[in-house]
Chain A
């Protein structure tokens, strides 16, 4: 009964929408935009999905293959190392970026002399193109001229050159990413901090709350929307890591995105697998975003 009535109501609503010439006109007018979005955004995704389900080559679509490409992809050692590297990289780098970024944001949120200068200076690493900073750091990790390799070697921390060891390269990549994108995190969090009104803290102080209580009961909960946005942005960004790995490790370190590139652009045989990996990235990234919105309660618009 209820469903029928809502359906009727819905249909009536629909009729009302389209009976009104003004409104109908409005729909006609957004139609071209919708079609363009469908063509440029959804068609490529759909096409990738189709390619990933067939035995396609660079020459074109092949016979239907079901999930074969996905099965072989998960059996491919290169893909698994890419997945593993990407996950570790994403979790560890975003964690450190968040912690350090929050500390920086709290520090520069106070009023002090030269605050504007400090804020601008903090952003410098972020302003570098990733490839440039990756090449710069690669030189510092290099064994003939690199200072980091030299110091680490002199202190006895490393037994082989940094650039020849994948674990060290991954640690290096995480370090460079933290160096580079912590400012971005700090900036987003700082914007969030500035929306918290000062009188809330004053009231808490009057009630006798100490620094830790104020931080955990006021700052963090009120900062949650900004934190979720910043962490989601960084997570998705880190998850798609490509340029940093390739420039810093000179194509040694595999990530999900580099696997896609190799499959689709370099290999003559792994085209379908590369597409499967691209689809895999798309859906897992989508799942991460859904997780943030649904489970962690991120607000996607300012309306309640």
Chain B
């Protein structure tokens, strides 16, 4: 250091040259940084040779994905690497969209939400697997998850595991009140809930997810479906119907008649669990996961045997329908390794692997045969109890513009639930807004 400094002072006369040199060095440095940056963007990958397959899936709380991948890698002649994505569905979707926009990225196989296929397929981002996954093979899977993968007569993936809205009820409390069967219609539920709640000093009897978000869309759709209404028929928006109005009227009446708390319009699953499992509700609409929380360290008050699960009640003569949730296996359309990707997808959806995830992670399989597997039915009782709901689940509107539609649906359902707009007005607005979205997109 000291020597250099004396050098500098000694060559005062050559100052300009040294400046120029400095500039050159600086320029080279900058260019280097830019190159590094570009390499960082392009590379971006984590480890693994170039021949490896990348499997992207949201953070896995059940701890069952890595063991499965390890098992696959042992027997296959190529390797699969698991890339963890955000747990939040919306963020996961965002990130995938960004990668696809940038030209495909390096993900080969995706574990994706059931509401994604149409949105990705319309942009040509995921692989059409109609030839690899023919009609006769699809028979082995539950119908609704398969439907969620079909866009314009082609199929874009394989169902992996499933989810459906269900009616939870307190079997013990119903029995004490002399009720032997859970309600099959919304009217029955509205009768039972306040009665049982009152006898047990509860403020309200029924809780569901009414907030302005994706889950609110699911709940609203279920009210519409169970009254015989629907949103989309082919390319046509058909939500403006007396059936839809009746559905939203029933949903609103839950609050208006005091069956559900007023604040249900702000509730998500996170408010539902503690209310129902904390002995403050008689009925709850929720996804299958809540069953496994009963009696756990977080919710010790209510034991699983106090809880019953049934399909959602219906309106006047409507069929029962639950919103379909769950995850599908999709393949990136830009992958260089479509055959290997398909091999991996097929392997993951095989009975043995699905069974492993069901037993270890309490997840619901998509293969029909597994619903008769005694080992699974014993280990995950909610599959047995809620099988009717699972069999009658229905995909949310399959459209390339589902994200836009869902924002509008959630908003209007929430407004109607709060009583800010009438159900008639809500479905009328939705008919207009959703038609607009379809026209804009078309």
Kindly state whether residue B401 has any CB partner on chain A within 8 Å: yes
Contact A161 B404 (CB under 8 A): no
Q: Report chain B residues within 8 Å CB of A269.
A: 401, 404, 437, 440-441
Q: In angstroms, how far is the closest chain A Cβ from the Cβ of B251?
A: 14
Residue in B26, B263, B400 whose beta carbon sits within 8 Å of that of A268 in the complex: B400
Q: Report chain B residues within 8 Å CB of A9.
A: none
Q: Report chain A residues within 8 Å CB of B101.
A: 58-59
Q: Report chain B residues within 8 Å CB of A165.
A: 418
Q: In angstroms, how far is the closest chain A Cβ from the Cβ of B423?
A: 17
Q: Once bound together, how far apart are the Cα atoms of A268 and B30, in whole Å? A: 38
Kindly state whether residue B94 has any CB partner on chain A within 8 Å: yes
Q: Report chain A residues within 8 Å CB of B271.
A: 144
Tell me the total A-B contact number using a CB cutoff of 8 A. Answer: 70
Closest to B280 in A: A144
Residue in A32, A59, A161, A250 whose beta carbon sits within 8 Å of that of B123 in the complex: A59
Contact A251 B212 (CB under 8 A): yes
Residue in A59, A164, A266, A268 whose beta carbon sits within 8 Å of that of B418 in the complex: A164
Q: Report chain A residues within 8 Å CB of B4.
A: none
Contact A161 B262 (CB under 8 A): yes
Closest to A145 in B: B274
Contact A25 B263 (CB under 8 A): no
Contact B90 A266 (CB under 8 A): yes
Contact A266 B403 (CB under 8 A): yes
Contact-size category for A: 20 to 34
Q: Once bound together, how far apart are the Cα atoms of A266 and B411, in whole Å? A: 15
Q: Report chain B residues within 8 Å CB of A59.
A: 101, 123
Closest to A160 in B: B262
Kindly state whether residue A243 has any CB partner on chain B within 8 Å: no
Q: Enumerate A158-186 residues with CB–CB distance to B below 8 Å.
A: 160-161, 163-165
Q: Report chain B residues within 8 Å CB of A58.
A: 97, 101
Kindly state whether residue B5 has any CB partner on chain A within 8 Å: no
Residues of A within 8 A of B (CB): 21-22, 25, 28-29, 32, 36, 58-59, 142-144, 160-161, 163-165, 250-252, 262, 265-270
The 5 nearest A-B residue pairs measured at CB: A143-B263, A161-B263, A163-B266, A164-B265, A164-B266
Residues of B within 8 A of A (CB): 16, 19-20, 23, 26-27, 30, 90, 94, 97, 101, 119, 123, 211-213, 261-263, 265-266, 268, 271, 274-275, 400-401, 403-404, 407, 418, 437, 440-441
Q: What are 18 residue pairs bridging A and B, where the CB atoms are less than 8 Å apart in the complex?
A: A21-B16, A22-B16, A25-B16, A29-B19, A36-B30, A58-B97, A58-B101, A59-B123, A142-B266, A143-B262, A143-B263, A164-B262, A164-B263, A164-B418, A250-B213, A252-B212, A267-B404, A268-B400
